[in-house]
Structure 1
Amino acid sequence: MKTILKNHRRKVTVYLGRRDFVDNSSTTEPIDGVVSITYRFGREEDEVMGINFSKEMQLVCREIPLKRDVKVTEMQERLLTKLGASAYPFSIDIPDNAPCSVQLFSDHSVKQ
């Protein structure tokens, strides 16, 4: 298990069991993981990097309920034990009409 996504202020972290999700032509494997929310106070040293993405694609928008009584996978159970009370499990099904791959570009690489 690795940290897959961390926002630039390090307040929200998403942990996923794997990076690749297989498209079987008729269905796509669901994405399951754990969201960990951390509240920080003080200076934001990471803002110096200035990394911004100019293209975004939203395939699924889902509110993650703050419930502990949902069905979790073994990987999610281990992460919940490790991360404590600030972590919440989730599972997302990718739509059938989603593209096979998505590429993100930084502001500097976009040619207009």
Structure 2
Amino acid sequence: MNATKDLTITTIGRKTGRLRTTTHPFGADGDQLVLVGPGSAAGPHLPGWYQDLMAHPDAEVQLGGRRLHVRAHTAHGAERRRLWTKLVAAQPVYQRYAEAARGEIPVVVLEATA
């Protein structure tokens, strides 16, 4: 899994309903794109883009010259463990994030919808 490239994602703001665009490093797992949500699921400081995706999981991703419509979900259980292992192998800094967090760091899977 290569997590050194960036993608741009446009989400719908959970409070405002306005479009919000942010840029993130990502990993790829087959046809899926994978993001790490800094912060932790146990803490109050989950990033806004993550909270927006959980409220409105349909989003648009720009990756290079391509635009993709995606649906997001948070990985849990065996899926999360498998993806987390791949992400940390590609970017060891994620392990330091995990050690500093007060809980499990969200791993977000983006699946193309059309």
TM-score normalised per structure 1:
0.35
Q: Which has the higher strand share?
A: 2
TM-score normalised per structure 2:
0.35
> Which is greater in Rg?
1
